[in-house]
Structure 1
């Protein structure tokens, strides 16, 4: 285990001692993922940090010991409602500090945001609400703007952020398989896309995948219906947003579409 002094060197790309690998993954139920050899995959993938969304489990229902056996400290922020929402962060390096929630009760009760602080940057795991009706769309958009304000305020004291998670929004037409036909569906509504543009600009962030790849047909979520995944009829909903102050550390960003624990697939960024 590295001490804090060594961690700064470890994270600093200038000396190229090691690449820091961060994965984000909406597992659509961590207990179900464990039955599909999630820990075996995690051991092989070997990220330094993994951010989990939609854990759908209380802390007492998660096999924390199995994660410890393969070298991870893990932290979980569950929803009050059983089998719903929830985020987590597992890290090989023990964080200096972990923060559960953002201080707004009606979001924190759903287990949607948590943060792990390291020596010179912080990682956030976030699960933005989906919207199946107008009432829930209002809740989603309020969450989004409150989250934007939270990040802007946080950057005053922690400028280096990696914000990882399922945002339930496709930012641009390239990020969805049928932009014309789905333009009135939540996840690709003009107001959602406008918010994401504002979020990136005002919080001075980089969409790490698009920093390296401007090609179409790269998605992170597929409906279970109509063989959507086999036909690659997908949506890019999962992101690693990285502070512009960390631009020179960016090494690679990829979508791990061959991983099948969920209707989402993991996304990875390397610093």
Structure 2
């Protein structure tokens, strides 16, 4: 099973840059998109409904916020939108598709870079989501949380990390949150199961020089429950084309879900 996650920074702009032409060639089973910046009624055309895929959208109620989507080859058993708290549901930040054995979600954690208030919002969201992660462990199925976490986990996940320790996305409290998820709770960073190398980034600032020099951060993840650890077979970050400031993260899992 191939799963792709990608932050579009606007699904229309990504489509203009050829994302869907690329996507249909990847033979992916599930594609999780974040920050689509569109209403569902705006996505009715064939452009956003590639043949062979079923699309599901969760739009933001406020135009200033994100929206997420899932494209899947197979009709899910169920679709869940939101997590029951306003920061997530009003801003369209979570959608989940349930299959026979595994649930796959598209998640967009807020960025805290804009202001002190934005950082407080991010921290509030992370606290709520940590509660969801703990509840998830009590369920008798496996999960893949795909999306933009807007935090680099370790020093190898961020260029110029030493100078960024007081910047949102690499604060000690944010890294401790990642450690609790991936350590104490036992969740798995699927990409790092295969690729342990430095400078494996999924995001670069909005200028070409940063991308060419590979000066960025790994902000996009596929986080799984522990049972899926041994099923991670191949991982890659697609950089040949630029659909947004983020790059698609592609992971192959053994078997069907």
**Fold agreement, TM-score > 0.5:** yes
Q: Does 1:126 align with 2:126?
A: no
Matched residue, 1:24 = 5
Counterpart contact for 1:121–1:158, Cα < 8 Å = no
CA contact (8 A) 1:122 1:158 kept: no
Q: How far 1:216 moved relative to its partner?
A: 0.8
Task: Please give the alpha-carbon distance, in whole angstroms, between the structure 2 residues aligned to 1:248 and 1:176.
Answer: 26
Deviates more, 1:37-46 or 1:84-93: 37-46
- Alpha-carbon separation, structure 1, partners of 2:212 and 2:180: 33
Match of 2:223 in 1: 241
Would you say 1:203 and 2:176 are equivalent positions?
no
Within 2, Cα distance between the matches of 1:113 and 1:156?
20
Shift of 1:61: 1.4
**Could you say what secondary structure the match of 1:57 adopts?**
coil
Report the alpha carbon displacement of residue 202 of structure 1 after superposing the two structures with TM: 3.7
SS in 1 for 2:24: helix
Deviations 1:202-259 (Å, cap 9, x if unpaired)? Answer: 4321111111111112100000136111111010000011111112211112111223
Structure 1 counterpart of 2:124: 142
Q: CA deviation at 1:21?
A: 0.3
Conserved? CA contact 2:104–2:143, under 8 Å: yes
Change (3 A) 1:186 1:51: same
Work out whether residues 193 and 229 of structure 2, in 8 Å CA contact, stay in contact via their aligned partners in 1. no
The structure 2 residue matched to 1:231, chosen from 201, 206, 213, is 213
Q: For residue 64 of structure 1, report the CA deviation from its aligned partner.
A: 5.5
Q: CA deviation digits over 1:106-141, x for unaligned, max 9?
A: 321001111110000100110000012222211111
1:92 equivalent in structure 2:
73
Pair 1:255-2:237 in alignment:
yes
Instruction: Report the CA distance shift for 1:46/1:86 in structure 2 as closer, same or farther (over 3 A).
Output: same
Query: Which ranges in structure 1 are unaligned for 5 or more consecutive residues?
Result: 1-19
Match of 1:107 in 2: 88
* 2:180 alignment partner, SS class: helix
The 1:63–1:31 alpha-carbon spacing in structure 2 relative to 1, beyond 3 Å, is farther
Give SS of 2:151's match: coil
Matches within 5 A, 1:183-194: 183-194=165-176
- Residue aligning to 2:52: 71
SS of equivalent to 2:222: strand
| Distance of 1:89 and 1:174 partners within structure 2 | 29
Aligned equivalents of 2:12 and 2:138: distance in 1? 37
1:170 alignment partner, one of 138, 152, 155: 152
For structure 2, the 5+ residue unaligned runs are none
Residue 12 (structure 1) aligns with: none
